[in-house]
Amino acid sequence: MRLVRWRGEDLLDRLDDVIAVYGEAMGYSVQLLQTRRGYVAGHTRRESFEAVATLDDDNSLLGFGYGYRGSSGQWWHDQVRNALKRDARKYWLADCFELVELHVRPHAQGHGIGARQLYELLTQAAHQTVLLSTPEAPEATSRAWRLYRRFGFVDVLRHFNFPGDDRPFAVLGRQLPL
């Protein structure tokens, strides 16, 4: 296995693989995944875009992660902004790296891939804070939740519903640098 840094073009070159990993990790339907292709492609052009990927010896994609500077006018940023109180908005969103996606194929989970990807992304982010959203889950049994807590993420919003997804999400954040 090897961890590689990706530019936007690299992610676009492997977009089919990225969407497949995303779908496996999140359990989304094929129809929803097709709509996500355009969003993911558009994200590669955002300010401060950073991406990483984990490849196996055959160059198969085991996991990936990416993010960028969050700002007004971006759907996720505006959803979170509208849900936060003024002081929290100022603290969390003034200079924020939005960790958009961090996924590992289910069969490859539990081997430190997600932790290495997260570490690499957060050490490259030149912002004051980082925010992410993750489906609500029992922390004791969720690998994602345990990973985020190990990295010092705290609750920013809990049981938040984004339009278009019936599941409740948590928005987690931490101060940067690591």
Does an H or E element contain 131, and which? strand 129-135
SS3 3: strand
Burial 132-141 (b: 16+ CB within 10 A, else e): bbbeeeeeee
Please give the Cα distance from 135 to 142 (Å, whole number).
Answer: 10
CA distance 20 to 108: 14
Helices (H), 44-136: 75-83, 86-93, 113-124
Q: How far apart are CA 24 and CA 19, in angstroms?
A: 9
CA 139 – CA 113 distance, rounded (Å): 19
SS3 98: strand
148 is a catalytic site residue: yes
Catalytic residue numbers, as ranges: 148
